[in-house]
Every structure is written in C-alpha cells, then in structure tokens.
Amino acid sequence: MDRIPERYQWLGLMLVGLAWIVLCEVLPDPGLLTKLIGWAVSGVGLAGWLYVESKNLGKAKGDRR
C-alpha cells in the first residue's frame, strides 16, 4: 500500500462507503443499520482525507504524501 498515496487510500474508503449507500438505495429493503454502515464508512473516509489534506497545507508540492 506504500505505492498508493495516503490521500487516495482515504478517498477510496469514502467511495466504498458511497457505493454502499447507492447499493442500499437499489435494494428493496436494506434496513436502517445497513444504511448507517455506509454513512459511517463514507464519513471516516472523508475525515481521513481531510486530515491528510490539512497536514499537507503549506508544504511544497513535492513533499506532500
């Protein structure tokens, strides 16, 4: 996983959560807990991505991870 930058790992997690939410909308009766799992995964991905981006503020473009 070292070849993939950390910001893209978090964005990937967020996209997995969003895909889960879309899948829940397609299913006939997914249940509330199933939808909450998708929102939680997406929220964690967004929080991680924002954390990584906040660490990169003020750094030169070559120093970012």
What would the two tokens of residue 27 be?
């299913």
| 61 within domain boundaries | no
Q: Give 9's contacts (C-beta < 8 A, 6+ positions apart).
A: 1, 48
| 63 within domain boundaries | no
Please say if the pLDDT value at position 1 is more than 60: no
Phi, psi of 2 (to 5 degrees): -70, -20
Say if CB 42 and CB 52 are below 8 A apart: no
H or E element at residue 16: helix 6-26
- The position carrying tokens 């967004």 is 46
| 14 within domain boundaries | yes
Average pLDDT for 11-23: 93
Average pLDDT for 27-55: 90
| 64 within domain boundaries | no
Tally the domains of the chain.
1
Domain that holds residue 21: 6-56
